[in-house]
Chains A and B, each alone.
Chain A
Amino acid sequence: MSWIELKGISKRFTTASGPVTALQGVTASLPKGAIIGLLGPNGSGKTTLLRILMGILPADSGEVWCEGSPLSASLRRTFGYMPEERGLYPKMRAEDQLSYFLQLKGYSAKEAQKEIRYWAERMEAPWLHRPARALSKGMQQKVQLILALAGNPPFLLLDEPFSGLDPVVATEVETILRERVQSGATLLLSTHRLEQADHLCDYVLLIHKGQLRLAGQTAALKQQYKTHSYEIETSAPLDALPWPTEVTLSPHTSHRATIHVSSTLTGKALLELLLPHTDVRFFAEKLPTIKEIFLQTVTTA
């Protein structure tokens, strides 16, 4: 179900070395209640798109719509945002900063305190009374995440949320984000680490040089771009088996290989051919990764 519509978003910057097109005619529909990956290499336009969605930068052309009408400033204020370039006032206590920013967001001082206490417990953060410079990077990132999550916003926009995090904290953050999505929020997170999208994102937008190259559900894209490849492991040596001509073998060992099958032969039919001659210990379709899909899209464009 489409929730946010991007309609022909374009943005150019004028720099000392000439004009730079950051985004060119980006059109996409973002579904509600999903984890959406905004993917692309560095400099592809991801941050610019997020800033336009948050209203920090105006688009040169195009519009952002939400549920059939232009996205209003009041609705934007309910969104939760975590920018890529993020920091804290070093000498100010973390809880004072949270209170300050939440008040700017529209909370009263009392409401802000209540919200901070809730998240301090939820994030296991009893150290919020400390000044920001006394906190580790992971702790600081948690503070910034609290700012984005406070008030349970319906739309979370996180720019490189896992950057600089150790695996433990990254897992914690991922868990919390999944919980939010399960509670009904929509999450748009940008990353240049395409492998992250594979296990995290339900929906992806692939941006390259300011243009939207690909958009769709992760599972559907993988099916669309699958190359009819399988991983197989047999008990008998691979070279002893009667492979049909439609099969191309890329052996890893004498018993394990990646096989590419022409579209006329199904996996089931192949198994039926092999089973009389060997036990099959492992057989799985090898779907392309998002990275492979992206590279394929970019090189053919």
Chain B
Amino acid sequence: MRVLGIILRREIEVRLRDWRFWITILSIPVLIVGVGGVIALLERDRPPITIYLPAELRELNLPSTKRLRFVSAPAATTLELKAQLREKEGFLLRSPDTGNTATFLLYTKEPLPSVEEENLQRLLQTALQQERLRKIGLSPEKWAYLTTPPTLKTFVLSAKGEESQSASAVSFLGTLLSLFLFMIIISAGSQILLSVLEEKTNRLAEYLLTHISPAQLLTGKLLASLFLTFVQAGIWIAFGWGGLYAAGTKATPLLNALSTSSWGWTLCFLLGGILLYAFLYAAAGASSDSVTELSSFGQALQWPLLLSFILVSTSAMQPQHPITIFLSHFPLTSPLAMPLRFTLSEIKTWEKLLSLFLLGISILGGRYLAARLYQRALLLYGQKLSWKAIWHLLRG
């Protein structure tokens, strides 16, 4: 225990003192907030576009918006108007209708942003609609009566009763959860990979192994990685909470999208995923010579989690599809797939237990693999081990 404490303290201190650790943790939320802030600023400071309307179009009564300002065109020919146009200005013409299709021509000095183009399209459609309703003698109220779309509210029935859920919150939560779990698991795995490689690259492993066992060294690194991963997760959650609060949105709908027990199961799968990938990445570090010279095993390890993230996001639309069910039980993908299924449908307890059991078995297998490779490959310097070499090492 004493030795474990010494290793743990050192691992945590070194990472916390490393500025790159903080860059990794803070860059994503700061980037999101920063980019969002810059976009908001650009939006706020963007001047409106003035569109000149000739006399015949004034009857459309196009309403000015924050971005589009409609004013009467001065008396001038089309050519003169074109020549006088400045930036952030345009003028609108209407060519004769072709059947039911009305065609408008907009001339500007610079391309109109697609958002504004769509807004203008909508305004023209509404104005044209009003014009045509007047022509056929139908009042706007009767038109609204005919065309107002119905409202649909969705509810998910749980075993305990009816629950009112926001479909958008659930859908958003599912995506967010997948991304969050993916990044956390990758982060934990990367930390332990770098930690193992640090000692191998700096030729320290042999000296360390004279005083502590490979199992003690590995366990110390794992615990440190777990601690730091939860620090990272906590900071990201705090940023997310703060961001939602600043945007005037509460996080409660997101939290309520899953029941308390589902959050508990999600935490179990997160922990299991971190442990499994931490052991596998430790094995990858022991069998590699450097980050740039990852062994065959290390290179292969990157794919299951990435593929599971892609597949899980795609198959999420069908939570009961055999592929989705398989992914939620296969240990390398279940840490992402099963929590996502929680957001989409009620999962039977035996399924969750089975998935966790399989994950648990895999964790033990990963631990065995990591300990074996750690002990045997840690002293193999200057070598990037092939699959054959790894197999021989495991066989002893």
Q: A-side interface residues toward B, CB under 8 Å?
A: 14-16, 51, 54-56, 76-77, 79, 81, 83, 85-90, 92, 100-101, 103-105, 144, 147
Contacts and interface: CB of A to CB of B under 8 A. Distances in A.
B202 A90 contact: yes
Contact of B204 (A14, A54, A89): A89
Given A56-B379, A88-B202, A89-B202, A81 B396 contact: no
Given A77-B211, A92-B14, A104-B212, A85 B6 contact: no
A92 B198 CA distance: 12
Contacts of B389: 15-16
Interface in B366-396: 379, 381, 386, 388-389, 392-393, 395-396
Contacts of A105: 211
Given A14-B395, A15-B392, A88-B202, A54 B210 contact: yes
A87 B206 CA distance: 10
A55 B206 CA distance: 11
Interface of B: 3, 6-7, 10, 14, 198, 202-204, 206-212, 379, 381, 386, 388-389, 392-393, 395-396
Given A86-B203, A87-B202, 8 more contacts: A51-B379, A79-B210, A83-B203, A85-B379, A86-B204, A101-B207, A101-B211, A104-B6
- Among A16, A77, A81, A101, the one with the most B-chain Cβ atoms within 10 Å of its Cβ is A16
Contacts of B379: 51, 56, 85
Given A15-B392, A104-B212, A81 B207 contact: yes
Given A56-B379, A92-B14, A87 B210 contact: no
Contacts of A90: 202
20 contacts: A14-B392, A15-B389, A16-B386, A16-B389, A51-B206, A54-B210, A56-B209, A56-B379, A76-B210, A85-B379, A85-B381, A86-B204, A88-B204, A89-B198, A89-B204, A100-B6, A101-B207, A104-B212, A105-B211, A144-B207
Contacts of B209: 56
Contacts of B198: 89
B96 to A, nearest CB: 76
Nearest to A83: B206
Nearest to B198: A89
A83 B207 contact: yes
Contacts of B386: 16
A16 B392 contact: yes
Contact of A147 (B10, B207, B393): B207
Given A14-B396, A16-B389, A87-B203, A103 B210 contact: no
A31 B206 CA distance: 26
A86 B10 CA distance: 19
B3 A104 contact: yes
B211 A104 contact: yes
A15 B380 CA distance: 11
Contacts of B388: 16
Contacts of B7: 104
Given A14-B392, A16-B392, A100-B6, A85 B203 contact: yes
Nearest to B217: A104
Contacts of B392: 14-16
B381 A103 contact: no
B9 to A, nearest CB: 9
Contacts of B204: 86-89
A55 B211 CA distance: 10
B206 A56 contact: yes
Given A88-B204, A90-B202, A100 B396 contact: no
A89 B203 CA distance: 9
A84 to B, nearest CB: 8
- Among B6, B204, B207, B379, the one with the most A-chain Cβ atoms within 10 Å of its Cβ is B207
A84 B292 CA distance: 24
B287 to A, nearest CB: 12
A135 B207 CA distance: 19
- Among B198, B204, B210, B395, the one with the most A-chain Cβ atoms within 10 Å of its Cβ is B210
Contact of B207 (A14, A79, A86): A86
Contacts of A104: 3, 6-7, 208, 211-212
Contacts of A14: 392-393, 395-396
**For the complex of A and B, 4 pairs with smallest distance between CB atoms:** A87-B203, A87-B202, A83-B206, A104-B211
A41 B8 CA distance: 40
Contacts of A55: 210
Nearest to A14: B392
Contacts of B210: 54-56, 76, 79, 81
- Among B10, B198, B206, B379, the one with the most A-chain Cβ atoms within 10 Å of its Cβ is B206
Contacts of B10: 100
B201 to A, nearest CB: 8
- Among B203, B209, B211, the one with the most A-chain Cβ atoms within 10 Å of its Cβ is B211
Contacts of A76: 210
Contacts of B393: 14
Nearest to A90: B202
A51 B207 CA distance: 10
B137 to A, nearest CB: 83
A183 B94 CA distance: 106
Nearest to B216: A104
A52 to B, nearest CB: 12
Nearest to A15: B392
A14 B380 CA distance: 13
Contacts of B381: 85
Nearest to B206: A83
A16 B392 CA distance: 6
A103 B202 contact: no
A129 to B, nearest CB: 16
Contacts of B395: 14
A132 to B, nearest CB: 9
- Among A51, A104, A105, A144, the one with the most B-chain Cβ atoms within 10 Å of its Cβ is A104
A147 B209 CA distance: 14
Nearest to B212: A104
A61 B392 CA distance: 20
- Among A100, A105, A147, the one with the most B-chain Cβ atoms within 10 Å of its Cβ is A100
A215 to B, nearest CB: 25
Contacts of B207: 81, 83, 86, 101, 144, 147
A54 B3 CA distance: 18
